[in-house]
Amino acid sequence: MKFFRLIWKNVFRKKTRMVLTTGSIVLVLVLIVVLVSLLNAMEADPSGGRGANRLVVQHATGLASFLPLSQRQRIEQIPGVVAVSPEIWFGGVYKDDRPENFFGQLSADPQIFFDKIFDDAMIDPAANAEWKATRNGFVAGQNLVTKFGWKKGDHVQLRGTYIPVTLDLIYIGKYRAGDESNIFFHNEYLNQSKWFGANRVTGIYYMKVASTQDLPRVAAAIDRMFENSDAPTKTMTEKQFQAQFMEMMGNIKGLIRWISLVILFAVTLIVANTVAMSARERVTEISVMRVLGFRRSHVLSFILSESVLMSLLGGLVGVVLAKFVIIPGMVKGMQTTPMAPFLINFRVTWQVLLAAFGISVGVGVLAGFVPAIRSSQLRIVDGLRQVV
């Protein structure tokens, strides 16, 4: 530690170089924080892990097929089932066709929805009661409300795509949860429109069982019950249900991971190159230090510490800038791009920031390693003889 001042001075010896190197670390870290947070937002587990005892029942052939509503009662009778809500993905168009206005629109049974099934979502009890009583009312995730600036009593029109009706909904209140990209409205209101499946079919059943141990048994019981019916089912945990969308984007996910790795490697090279250049310019100086009695291990730790210190500074600035300046600005700027639907659940968690900071230290160590060893291996006579 007594050499800290020396290392510090050496880091700032060439200001331009230092600024440029930390600058590239900052940029890469910000980019990685954005990419990783984007992945997390896509993967958002709506329950944040707490809704482990929820199941989703869909048609065995996939989401394009409807399930008969008559199945609800039979599912409810299975022991261990707490509550079942039919849900329909409306998939309507809000305002215009542009992708940035896309969000999840689901119908549900309000009498049990927040009380018994989606019970880890936080909703004001008064708002929940009002929603139950308002046939054409809807509740929306906090982030979605912020994005569109909805106020209580606002009318929202959704033009149906595969269900050929237009819904005129009234905003009642917001809920908070891991996934805040959806709105929920009454099944009854949708049925009132007399669409072709009204009161006859649903898209999925969203349901809750008493305990985690019941999950496999109940899921198997449901699928067995309807196996030979007109509408065979596929019952999954909520997590598996979400995962099927992620699996389809599987390549994108892997791609982002690869991109992150490659650019990390690239920035390590940039830092390594900088450290090597600065060590090369100081060959004479290093030899003089050795003559004065500093050991090889001293030289090694000086150069390595320099690299780590520089990366650390970059990491610190990068993390702070990412969290407070660049990412908030970027998220705002991208609200009008096709990326917007992915940003609804976009959060920069401290875990990600911490990991990014850790990565910056790793970059410093990796980058400083080779130049540090090379400088420490230098023979004093060669170093003194060399004209730089």
Partner 1 sequence: MAIPLKYNLRNLMVRKVSTGMTVFVICLVVTVFLFVLSLWSGVTRTLSTNASDRNVVTMRVGSQAEMQSVVTRDSADLIRSLPGIERDAGGQPLVSAELLTLVNIPKADGKSTNVQVRGTSSAGMALRPSIRMVEGQMFRPGTNEAIVSKVLPSRIAGVSIGDTLKSGSYRWKIVGYFDASGSAYDSEIWTDVADLQAQSKRPIYSIVYVRATDAESARRYIEAVKGDQRLKLEGKTEKKYFEEQMVTGAPIKVLAILVGVFTAIGASFGAMNTMYAQVSARIREIGTLRAIGFSRRSVLVSFVVEALLLCLIGGILGTALAFVLFNLVITKPTGTMNFRTFSEILFNFRLTPPLVLGGLAFSLAMGFIGGFFPAARAARLKITTALREI
Footprint of partner 1 on this chain (CB under 8 A)?
A: 14, 16-17, 20-21, 23-24, 27-28, 30-31, 34-35, 59-65, 91, 93, 97-99, 102, 159-162, 164, 196, 230, 232, 234, 244-245, 247-252, 255-256, 259, 262-263, 265-267, 269-270, 272-274, 276-277, 281, 334, 337-339, 341-342, 388
Provide the phi-psi class of 119: left if phi over 0, else alpha when psi is between -120 and 50, else beta: alpha
Residue 183 is encoded by which pair of tokens? 């709105």
- At its nearest, how many Å lie between partner 1 and the CB of residue 248? 4
Strand pairing class (182-186; 104-108): parallel
- At its nearest, how many Å lie between partner 1 and the CB of residue 158? 11
The CB density around residue 216, as the number of other CB atoms within 10 Å, is 11
Nearer to partner 1, 61 or 212 (CB): 61
- At its nearest, how many Å lie between partner 1 and the CB of residue 126? 35
- Fill in the amino acid letter for 273: N
- Fill in the amino acid letter for 184: F
- At its nearest, how many Å lie between partner 1 and the CB of residue 170? 22
CA torsion 35-257-249-176 (nearest 10°) is -40
Angstrom distance (rounded) from CA 185 to CA 169: 8
The CB density around residue 40, as the number of other CB atoms within 10 Å, is 17
Backbone phi, then psi, for 139, in 5-degree steps?
-115, 155
- At its nearest, how many Å lie between partner 1 and the CB of residue 127? 30
Nearer to partner 1, 29 or 117 (CB): 29
Nearer to partner 1, 117 or 367 (CB): 367
- At its nearest, how many Å lie between partner 1 and the CB of residue 211? 27
Percent helix, strand and coil across the chain, each to the nearest 5: 55, 15, 25
Nearer to partner 1, 206 or 342 (CB): 342
Dihedral (CA of 130, 183, 40, 241) sign: positive
- At its nearest, how many Å lie between partner 1 and the CB of residue 68? 11
Nearer to partner 1, 14 or 298 (CB): 14
Which of 334, 305, 317 lies closest to 27, judged by CA?
Answer: 317
Grouping H, G, I as helix, E, B as strand and the rest as coil, residue 104 is strand
